[in-house]
A and B are shown apart, each in its own frame.
Chain A
Amino acid sequence: MTDTVKIKIDGIEVKLEKNASILDAAKQLNIKIPTLCHHEDLCVAGNCRVCVVEQEGVHNLVPSCSTPALDGMIIHTMTPKVRKARKDLIALLVSEHNTQCTTCYRSKNCELQDLAAEYNIDNEVYLSVLKPSKVDRSSWSIEKDDSKCIRCQRCVRTCAELQHVNALDVAYRGKDMKISTFMDLHMNEVVCVNCGQCIIHCPTGALTERRYYDNIWDAIGDPKKHVIINTAPSVRVALGETLGFPVGTRVTKKMVTALKKIGFDAVLDTDFAADVTILEEGHELLHRLKRVFVDKEKVSLPMITSCSPGWVKFIEHMYPNYLSHLSTCKSPQQMFGALAKTYYAKKKGIDPKDIVSVAGMPCSAKKYEANRPEMKSSGYNDVDAGLTTREIGHMIKETGVDFLSLEETEFDSLMGESSGAGVIFGATGGVMEAALRTVYEVVTGREVPFKNLNITPVRGLKGVKEATIKIENCVPAFSFLEGVELKIAIAHGLINARIVMDQVEKGTSPYHFIEIMACPGGCIGGGGQPIPTNCEIRQKRIDAIYEEDANMPVRKSHEVKEVQELYRDFLKEPLGQKSHHLLHTKYTKRNRY
């Protein structure tokens, strides 16, 4: 028995691992076969049939994505029969489609549009059988337009396989088949956690983020308003993709310039708030440990991070009895918003009612988070609107600036300075690493014992990562931690969150501290990021994040000058009264059903 097979595609022989598909074989040879229902992140569905090829000796065309390559197969990918079949399939999809590309958000970034162009679907071969449907804009985050849906079911597989939410499924059958929530309820009435993973896996404009850029253009045009934007770490390593740069390019300073050209009065950094989050959350962890070890109280451990609003809504729905495990810290976006309309407003002498605070995020759930009723601790909406990386890309295009040749600008001050620890929030494991860099030093007075502060065991794309850090030679205040082995875990993608949460539920969780991000890869793979996003692209964005970190002069949250200033002049101390009011929050029990 050998583990490899040999097949011939378009006259070229290729050797493959067993269980590879014909599509994999073609990829190895750089032969392009069109696909629609196929996505690298998801299991094979084989329902769209545009990937058909001809197999010698077999009468019917075979779908290349779902047909395993078997030894000796002879495949042809571009015969007249294949081409005709693909063209027909695409034309049929178009005949059921609300083909309004000029007014479609996904235009120029749409797999159906690309294929229709490639296969020259230049006249209406089939009569349009488009059925009327209503666009669902009930959710703060997700817009669902069934008239643009090709029923490839990528969203259904995403919501099941990556996120284990199953808010969407296939309902009805045949010509009536559609992608539906339970009882076809609105998206805001079901268990959807707004993560947007279905959006970045949808080939068309059927699932998109709710867009708020028009409101922001209006605010920018209003001279009375002071419009500020803070941009999350993951935006700077992905925005370039929408504007002509290769995947993995860091465009931080060009982005700042472009946002200034758009007309924002100040371009600030979410990383600043990420650094504040580390101080608050790090001290919260130490506080909980102290209550366990010294006061012998019953305290919810492991403590779990709360920066990812998709994850927060997930635990509220799925594990509502375990909300006490969540850190009470708001996410960096919401900390930023609360500080912008208090601390920033005061220091700059601007009336907070005139501040429009915008968050540039790799995320669709952040739009929902900004609208949670409790997020008004400044007395105003702490965050007025959230934009995705994609929306920012569109706004920059709209200005007409040539992004590629744009000069570079630094973030504005106040709340524009940050550390490398703030940057790595964007990658899975980053919050943990950032927290450890600070917590370890607070407890022992020494830097974390890792070369160049790079805590490599928490990095990488493995679904659940674990590490143990032994705490020794503590400073007197933390002597209760002497010799403690701090056990940590990191999960990304909600299917992995389930794994660690099931342990918590069973009472078998061995950890003290867990980081959970809703999206695979962390924020760099967020539902607001450029499309496509896949494993290879996630890895390149992660590499860029760590490069950004390595190049920062300050690598630890507690060493950022503006953060120190914030505590000195305003907050006084982590977990203090002001922090409690502005930077911490409560959670809501929700139903799964």
Chain B
Amino acid sequence: MEIKALIFKLAEKYGRKRENLIPILQGVVQEERYISDEAMVEIARQLDISAAQVYGTCTFYSFLNTKPKGKYIIRVCETIVCDMRGKKEVISTLEDLLKIKIGETTHNKRFSLLKTECLGWCHKGPVMLVNDEVYTELTPEKIRNIIAKYKENIN
């Protein structure tokens, strides 16, 4: 869907008050996986607020991407418990498997690798998210299987 039409639809659905900003942003991320400059401006226009306000909100939340992202967004928890339980190894395994560094996206736009704050799964750390799916008690072996699954999953 064209971005303007998408935002119009979302604004119709959630309303045009300041408090409707987050659901609209989430709606855009769901469809586009990130919020482009044009999208921010269009949202500001629809809600009659300034573009700086939309930008401020986008940059506050780590789940509201402002850069293009791959189809599967992997977020590795970097907070203290997961850190102590082997976050480093999780990241190096992922970097090795995907041949990208933290913050980057694979050239085929399939995976993006990011860090995130505590996901509330500390008792089962280390953990990571792939889009909305959470994976716990990670080991290099487990990670290889998970990634293999997403690599095959062509749809």
Contacts and interface: CB of A to CB of B under 8 A. Distances in A.
Given A172-B59, A173-B60, A183 B49 contact: no
Interface string B50-83: 1111111001100000000000000000000000
A183 B55 CA distance: 6
A387 interface: no
A165 B53 CA distance: 10
A182 B55 CA distance: 6
Contact of B50 (A171, A173, A182, A183): A182
A191 B50 contact: yes
B65 to A, nearest CB: 14
A166 interface: yes
A180 B41 contact: no
Contacts of A171: 55-56, 59-60
Interface in B14-47: 37, 40-41, 44-45
A593 interface: yes
B144 to A, nearest CB: 33
A184 to B, nearest CB: 8
A182 B52 CA distance: 4
Given A171-B60, A593-B44, A593-B45, A165 B55 contact: no
B59 A182 contact: no
A169 interface: yes
B53 A169 contact: yes
A22 interface: no
B22 to A, nearest CB: 14
A172 B60 CA distance: 5
Contacts of B53: 166, 169
A171 B55 CA distance: 7
Contacts of B40: 182-183
A183 B54 CA distance: 10
A583 B41 CA distance: 37
A165 B52 CA distance: 10
Nearest to A182: B51
A7 B60 CA distance: 39
Contact of A166 (B37, B45, B52): B52
A190 B45 CA distance: 15
Interface string A159-191: 000000111111111000000111100000011
A593 B50 CA distance: 8
A428 to B, nearest CB: 25
Contacts of B49: 166
Contact of B52 (A169, A172, A173): A169
B44 A169 contact: no
Nearest to B44: A593
Nearest to B55: A182
A325 B53 CA distance: 29
B60 A167 contact: no
Given A593-B41, A593-B44, A593-B45, A167 B55 contact: no
Contacts of B37: 183
Contacts of B51: 182-183, 190, 593
A194 B103 CA distance: 37
14 contacts: A165-B50, A166-B53, A167-B52, A172-B60, A180-B52, A180-B55, A180-B59, A182-B52, A182-B54, A183-B51, A183-B55, A190-B52, A592-B45, A592-B50
Interface of A: 165-173, 180-183, 190-191, 592-593
The 8 closest A-B pairs by CB, nearest first: A166-B50, A169-B56, A182-B51, A169-B52, A171-B59, A182-B52, A593-B41, A172-B59
Given A171-B59, A172-B60, A182-B50, 13 more contacts: A166-B49, A169-B52, A170-B56, A170-B60, A171-B55, A173-B59, A180-B52, A182-B41, A182-B54, A190-B51, A592-B50, A593-B41, A593-B51
Interface of B: 37, 40-41, 44-45, 49-56, 59-60
